[in-house]
């Protein structure tokens, strides 16, 4: 499944899909981002914090806004999150995922695959 570019999707489509793929609450995500496991995964953004970890902090801010308060930058990030979760989910390892870097990376992006499958 090809992820549509933001220009191909309406804001409503992005909003709905974002809230579908981001299955962690702001408080769950905030608690997760404080863990060493969260900080141990992902590509460094250049300042010692991973891209996914920064994304998680943005997701918390987005989820704490009302829909009519969302900016174009918020929608762009929401679309980026959708694409990442779809791409990364497709790379599910065949081994146990409960304590995997794969799961930890997805959780940094607000998606806990163990909420959808037995872990």
Assess if residue 42 is contained within a domain: yes
Q: In this predicted structure, what is the pLDDT of residue 117? A: 85
Assess if residue 5 is contained within a domain: no
Assess if residue 4 is contained within a domain: no
Assess if residue 74 is contained within a domain: yes
Q: In this predicted structure, what is the pLDDT of residue 8? A: 74
Q: In this predicted structure, what is the pLDDT of residue 119? A: 85
Q: Within the chain, which residues score under 50 in pLDDT?
A: 1-2
Assess if residue 79 is contained within a domain: yes
Residues 114 and 117: their CA atoms lie apart, in Å, by 5
If one counts the domains in the chain, the total is 1
Q: In this predicted structure, what is the pLDDT of residue 9? A: 86
Q: In this predicted structure, what is the pLDDT of residue 5? A: 56
Residues 23 and 89: their CA atoms lie apart, in Å, by 13
Q: What pairs with residue 50 in β-bridges?
A: 44
Assess if residue 87 is contained within a domain: yes
Q: In this predicted structure, what is the pLDDT of residue 118? A: 80
Residues 119 and 4: their CA atoms lie apart, in Å, by 30
Q: In this predicted structure, what is the pLDDT of residue 4? A: 54
Range of the domain at 53: 11-115
């Amino acid at each position: 499944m090809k992820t549509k570019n933001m220009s191909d999707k309406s804001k409503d489509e992005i909003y709905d899909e974002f809230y579908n793929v981001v299955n962690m609450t702001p408080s769950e995500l905030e608690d997760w981002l404080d863990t060493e496991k969260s900080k141990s995964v992902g590509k460094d953004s250049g300042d010692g914090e991973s891209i996914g970890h920064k994304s998680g902090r943005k997701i918390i801010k987005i989820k704490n806004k009302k829909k009519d308060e969302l900016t174009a930058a918020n929608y762009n990030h929401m679309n980026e999150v959708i694409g990442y979760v779809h791409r990364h989910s497709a790379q599910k390892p065949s081994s146990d995922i409960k304590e995997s870097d794969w799961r930890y990376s997805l959780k940094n992006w607000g998606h806990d695959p163990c909420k959808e499958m037995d872990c």
